[in-house]
């Protein structure tokens, strides 16, 4: 477990403005019922950690929030816009929602800097000079400004994931989604990525993070959500969640994950 577990709880910067709302969301892959009646409200600045056993639908749920997956029933409202099949609205929401993937998904054919300026230039129509300034600023914040001219394939996993975070931040999103950002990394690289995420959390970003890094959950999460078989089984603030889980399945999951 990363060292962040011992750090002090970061101050919360929540407000009452609702950023993400899922109402009675259901999703099927063919006949397989992946998401079952998901209800979730995330307010501005809230930091949410989602955990649960493999195959429980965590990735599917957060991928529905930026419409990488389509839901079939219920409502998803992101930053005041409802997700429907309207392409304009989907693109609008994707501009506001950054996503970091387990396998980084950097674009290997262009340099790190190009990775970062591409979306701001083509989607936000930002002039190159301004986009590069912003990109260098974020690359500095994730502590790899000196790698800007390299290609992704020349970086370590941890460096690549930090580039991926910087690339998302360059679009100046209001919400960040993380799908197991550290689970493809070697142990010594996990900390460097988590540190960046903690810093981001402290800056007041609204975040939903699927992760099994319980130390991270304890330090920065405002709320921990436990999912199993497509449902949200339990949610609570981290202290209560870890020390006093209400549901049998949560207890079982926590005992497995904390005692290995």
Partner 1 sequence: MAEFVPHPELPPPASSVGVIGWLRRNLFAGWLNSLLTVAALYLVVTALPPLLNWAFFSADFVGESRDACDSGGACWVFVNARFSTFMYGFYPAAQAWRVDLIFGTLLLLMSPLFFKGFRYKLQLGGFILFVYPWIAFGLMHGGLLGLPVVETAKWGGLSLTLLLAAVGCIAALPLGVLLALGRRSTNMPVVQTMCVVFIEFWRGVPLITVLFMSSVMLPLFLPEGVSFDKLLRALIGITLFQSAYMAEVVRGGLQAIPKGQYEAADALGLGYWRKMGLIVLPQALKIVIPGIVNTFIALFKDTTLVIIVGLLEILGMVQNALNDPNWLGFSTEGYVFTAFVFWIFCFSMSRYSQWLERKLHTGHKR
> Which spans of this chain sit near partner 1 (rule: CB under 8 A)?
66, 68, 87, 91-92, 94-95, 97-99, 101, 103-110, 118-119, 122-123, 151-154, 160, 167-168, 171
One residue of 4, 56, 59, 160 binding Mg ion per CB under 5 A: 59
CB of 200 to partner 1, least distance (A): 17
Query: Of 241, 199, 138, 209, nearest to 7 (Cα)?
Result: 199
Q: Does residue 181 touch ligand ATP according to CB under 6 A? A: no
**In the complex, minimum distance from the CB of residue 180 to partner 1, in angstroms, rounded to a whole number:** 13
Report what 107 binds from partner 1, Mg ion, ligand ATP, none; CB cut-off 5-8 Å by kind.
Answer: partner 1
Number of residues that bind ligand ATP (CB under 6 A): 11
Q: Hey, what are 78's tokens? A: 């992101």
Q: Does residue 58 bind ligand ATP (CB under 6 A)? A: yes
Backbone angles phi, psi at 4, to 5 degrees: -55, -20
Q: How far is the CB of 203 from Mg ion (least distance, A)?
A: 26
State the nearest-atom distance from the C-beta of 71 to ligand ATP, in Å. 12
Which lies closer to partner 1 via its Cβ, residue 4 or residue 159?
A: 159
Q: Which does 54 bind (CB under 5 to 8 A by kind): Mg ion, ligand ATP, partner 1, none?
A: ligand ATP
Interface residue with ligand ATP, options 11, 16, 31, 54 (CB under 6 A): 54
Tell me the closest approach of the beta carbon of residue 136 to ligand ATP, in angstroms. 33
Per-residue binding letters, 32-51, with ligand ATP (x by CB under 6 A): x-x-----------------
**62 versus 148: smaller Cβ distance to ligand ATP:** 62
- The per-residue DSSP string of the chain comes to --GGGGSPPPPP---S-EEEEEEEEEEEETTEEEEEEEEEEEETT-EEEEE-STTSSHHHHHHHHTTSS--SEEEEEETTEE--S-HHHHHHHHHHEEEE-TT----TTS-HHHHHHHHHHHTS---HHHHHHHHHHHHHHTT-GGGTTS-GGGS-HHHHHHHHHHHHHTT--SEEEEESTTTTS-HHHHHHHHHHHHHHHHTT-EEEEE---HHHHHHH-SEEEEEETTEEEEEE-HHHHHHS--SHHHHHHHHHHH--
| Residues in contact with ligand ATP by the rule CB under 6 A | 29, 32, 34, 52, 54-60
| Residues in contact with Mg ion by the rule CB under 5 A | 59
């Amino acid at each position: 477990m990363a060292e962040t577990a011992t750090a002090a709880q970061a101050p919360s910067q929540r407000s009452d403005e609702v950023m993400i709302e899922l109402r009675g969301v259901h999703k099927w892959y063919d006949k397989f019922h992946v998401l079952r009646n998901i209800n979730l409200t995330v307010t501005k600045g809230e930091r949410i950690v989602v955990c649960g056993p493999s195959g429980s639908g965590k990735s599917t749920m957060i991928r529905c929030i930026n419409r990488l997956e389509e839901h079939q029933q219920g409502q998803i409202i992101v930053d005041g816009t409802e997700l429907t099949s309207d392409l304009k609205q989907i693109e609008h929401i994707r501009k506001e929602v950054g996503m970091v993937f387990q396998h980084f998904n950097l674009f290997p054919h262009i340099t790190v800097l190009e990775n970062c300026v591409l979306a701001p230039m083509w989607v936000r129509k930002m002039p190159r000079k301004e986009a590069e300034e912003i990109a260098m600023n974020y690359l500095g914040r994730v502590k790899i400004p000196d790698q800007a001219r390299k290609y992704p394939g020349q970086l370590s996993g941890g460096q690549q994931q930090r580039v991926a975070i910087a690339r998302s931040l360059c679009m100046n999103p209001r919400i960040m989604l993380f799908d197991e950002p550290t689970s493809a990394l070697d142990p010594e690289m996990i900390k460097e990525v988590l540190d960046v995420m903690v810093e981001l959390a402290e800056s007041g970003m609204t975040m939903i993070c699927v992760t099994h890094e319980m130390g991270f959950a304890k330090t920065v999460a405002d709320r921990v959500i436990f999912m199993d078989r497509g449902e949200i089984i339990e949610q609570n603030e981290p202290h209560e969640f870890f020390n006093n889980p209400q549901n049998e399945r949560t207890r079982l999951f926590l005992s497995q994950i904390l005692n290995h």
